Amino acid sequence: MSRTTRRAGVAAIAAAALLLTGACSKDDAKKKAPDPAKAAGQNRTTPAEAATVTLTPVDKATGVDPAAPITVAVAGSGAKIAEVKVTNAGGESVDGALTGNTWKPQVPFMYGGKYTVAATATNAENKPTTATSVFTVLNPTQAATATFMPDADATVGVGQPVSITFDEPVKNHKAVQDAIKVTATPAVEGAWHWFGNSRVEWRPREYWKVGTQVKVDLNLRGVDLGGGVMSKQFKSFGFKISDTKRITVVDAKAHTMTVSENDQVVKTIPITAGEDPKYTTWNGTMVMEDRDLSVDMNSQSVGLGNEYDQKGVQFAIRLTDSGTYLHANTWASTDVFGSANTSHGCVSMTLDNAKWIYERSTRGDIVQVKGNEQKPVAPDNGYGAWNLTWDQWTAGS
């Protein structure tokens, strides 16, 4: 073989190898080069769904219940409530708490008040969505107010009930009872009793223990009393039971009044009680409901005609709404004290003795009358709660 022929063969082999190598590289390139469309699909992420927020009351709602909670409904994958803020018409924040998906004001909304709620929820990527609602609370045409005894921060005797009186009739007794909470320290068993439809009282089963602290929560705002009447109060008050258990026993037959403190007799006072049979003093258990250094007593004010009109009666302690008092008697002969019943139903004594009992007594102290044929005082004539048995008392709840 000539050199020329040999060179041609080598060249041919090299060319073939070159063609083979080029073919392999092309195939590898096809395998390794990324597909632009495919690569774009691998790098793309789908945005998380935005959270949605729905509020109740809805925007521009009117006539909203002042005690109703605000409901915050959220939707969307991973959606959750982040914040709920409520402001009044003056832009002031309203205190409240979020439980689950409901927000409730610490104090019920004011009647006729206008409020704005802004609720924010976040989605799975923690991106916020906020919804707002402006609503107006109902403003009832009939709104009841309750007065209460004892006064806030008062110190009272062991017989004092919690007495609530409404200036509008109450048909929904249970709603009122459920809205008023009485807390005693130490705790005691107690119950409510209604006298008609305007007055309700809470008393313990037995007389209060001395030194007891009592708190009353009137959570009445927004409570439907029935008959189109709503309550409007939200108030708490407290009082203390005296450190002295003072019980005064009037024996109309013996013409005496015996005062015990913490179960020890401290004094027996000669008295005159109501004249039998027309003016007999009520029997039963009464509670000192008021005290005055001086009071005018007129028989017409208690439905007795023109029997008496006494000005400036001193050291007067009121026991019933119908006008029964312990008081000083400066116009009668001193011979009657301890020997006869000559009054129109009150229990009276000398000025010195009346001053003595007045100065050491307090509202809520117990006065028990016995020794005559008169029936017990009615349980709603003053604070006559203790003339009912426990079963009778709870039956009125």
Residues known to be catalytic: 327, 346
List, in sequence order, every beta strand (DSSP E) within 2-127.
52-56, 61-64, 70-75, 80-88, 96-99, 102-105, 114-122
Listed residue (125, 102, 103, 133) closest to 51, CA to CA: 125
Which residues does 45 contact at the CB level (< 8 Å), separation at least 6? none
Cα separation, 355 vs 265, in Å, equals 18
Q: Do 115 and 134 meet the contact criterion of CB atoms below 8 Å apart?
A: yes
Q: Do the beta carbons of residue 164 and residue 198 sit within 8 Å?
A: no
Q: 201: which strand partners?
A: 163, 193
The Cα-based distances of 294 to 15, 62, 321 in angstroms read: 138, 53, 17
CA 395/CA 397 separation, integer angstroms? 6
DSSP for residue 353: H
Residue 196 backbone phi and psi in degrees, to 5: 70, -150
**SS3 (DSSP) at 24:** helix
Q: How far apart are CA 272 and CA 330, in angstroms?
A: 12
Amino acid sitting at position 153 = D
Distance separating alpha carbons of residues 222 and 276, to the nearest angstrom: 51
* Cα(70)–Cα(224) distance, integer angstroms: 19
Length of the chain: 397
Q: Give the CA distances from residue 151 to residues 148, 172, 324, in Å, rounded to whole numbers and listed in that order.
A: 7, 25, 22
Which DSSP helix (H) or strand (E) runs through 185? strand 180-185
Distance from C-alpha of 394 to C-alpha of 267, rounded to nearest angstrom: 35
